[in-house]
Chains A and B, each alone.
Chain A
Amino acid sequence: MNWLNDNVNMLALLGAAAIILITVFVVAKYIKQMKEDKSTGELAEENWDGIGEYKNELPIGWSLAFLGTIVWGLWYFLIGYPLNGYSQIGEYNEEVQKYNTKFENKWANPDEETLMGMGEGVFFVQCAPCHGVTGDGINGKAADLTVWGSEAAIVDVILKGSKGLNYPLGEMPAGLLQGDDAKAVAAYMVEKIAKLGKSKNPDLVAKGESLWAVCAGCHGQNGDGMGGNSPSLKNYGKPEFVVDVLNRGKAGNIGVMPKFNDGRLSDIQKLAVGKYVNSLSQ
């Protein structure tokens, strides 16, 4: 946490130190006066319930400091935050622009490791409140991301169906296939469509291929989603699919996930969190 690099933090710390110092200094001064000086002066003629009043002059330090703050006030008003020349929104725009330029320069072509690190950071702040810190979905309150995107999850989708990504084809019905058939299609999809690597049931891949027609009706022969009518299964289990979920939101069976398209996440950040999410199940 590079606290001291930020001049505002510096200012806060300096301010804190100044408070302590000035208070100690001034109080010490008056304590000294209380200890050593004698009270003197010309008494006013009034007396209230035994309380008298000296006609002493103003303490010089106090008067000078009063003038000093007034001068400072004028400076603040005319130069520090000039009445007609300062806008807090303008200041914000500059801050963001400066940041964006720096970000683009530095992370124009992020490598794998960068994306993972960045994604992890985004996940903890933006996703963990629903999916839990480990991504397990907090006892079924949101999707279990340690499973989502894996072969097992595909089987689950085939058995239970899917809804809420808001594609033109609407919902995917439950129970299109059962038992081994479902496993077989999942195996085929893992190896040949989404290309997620080796299936756990390599012997079922061939059977899966023969059953693929069930899916092709909506997802297309090659699984590309038929021009945006349903999700592209080529991307399933990949960061691109997660980005799609982030952009569309998901009103699913367990609950609703909001869209993340209000500008809080940049495209690179979305991709990064997608990578991180995929790493949870693979």
Chain B
Amino acid sequence: MFHWLERNPFFFAVGVFIVIAYAGIVTILPDFMNSARPVVGTKPYTVLQLAGRHVYIKDSCNACHSQLIRPFKSETDRYGMYSLSGEYAYDRPFLWGSKRTGPDLMRVGNYRTTDWHENHMLNPAEIVPGSIMPKYPHMFKNVADIETAYAEALTVKKVFNVPYDKSGMPKLGTLEEAKAQALKEAEEIVANMKSPEVKEALKRGEIKEIVAIIAYLNSLK
């Protein structure tokens, strides 16, 4: 009957490929340009925030936390305004997550603060009794990787025309300038922190991971 195809592996494989290939084209491509457009006011991450984002990814916070507020009243009451496509225009990769073991963090910058995060990341269960979130003391020891963050920012600027160094947008400049800028942002955050270890390190010009991740969390609005 249909055995012809099953006797011709080449055409069989071509047939399979055609059948599986075009769904992606039809569903992904039509809105591709639209979905990539930022909403007004969205800015790329500063180098320090990007370094924090890398810490977030490194420790897979996205395994437990979503960053996607769905348009339901119960979610907007809890987390704030529902998400818009254009707000993610500079998110590479996206960090929507697929599981909410912990709460959504899309707008956590609106309702939690530096000092709170400092206490919470050190020992979540002390701040929120019953929390099952791990402690992250190592973030107070590890140094944030500003160079890789800078490399990423420079890459997306060059390759994807992300508007760094445009007016009203974060400044990138040279690596040295970027490092100085990151230190300045870090100082503002550390001013609201208590850990002597972190403060000492900053004086030596070292930015701990905890500072970077707080910069990132504060930027989520």
Contacts and interface: CB of A to CB of B under 8 A. Distances in A.
- The reply, when asked whether chain A contacts chain B directly with Cβ atoms under 8 A, is yes
Nearest to A96: B73
B220 interface: no
Contacts of A141: 115-116, 119, 127
B80 A89 contact: no
B153 to A, nearest CB: 27
A264 B77 contact: yes
Nearest to A122: B77
A99 B128 CA distance: 31
A211 interface: no
Given A99-B73, A262-B110, A255 B116 contact: yes
Interface range for A = 20 to 34
Interface string A252-265: 00111111101110
Contact of B114 (A89, A91, A126, A256): A256
A88 B115 contact: no
Contacts of A125: 78
Contacts of B129: 133
Nearest to B115: A255
B107 to A, nearest CB: 8
Interface in A137-157: 138, 141-142
Interface string A105-142: 00000000000000000000110011001000010011
Interface of B: 71-73, 76-78, 80-82, 107, 110-116, 119, 126-129, 192
Interface in A233-269: 254-260, 262-264
A263 B81 contact: yes
A258 B217 CA distance: 13
24 contacts: A88-B71, A91-B71, A92-B71, A95-B72, A96-B76, A99-B73, A129-B128, A130-B112, A130-B127, A138-B126, A141-B119, A141-B127, A142-B116, A254-B115, A255-B113, A255-B192, A258-B110, A259-B110, A262-B110, A263-B80, A264-B77, A264-B78, A264-B80, A264-B111
A133 B116 CA distance: 16
B192 A256 contact: yes
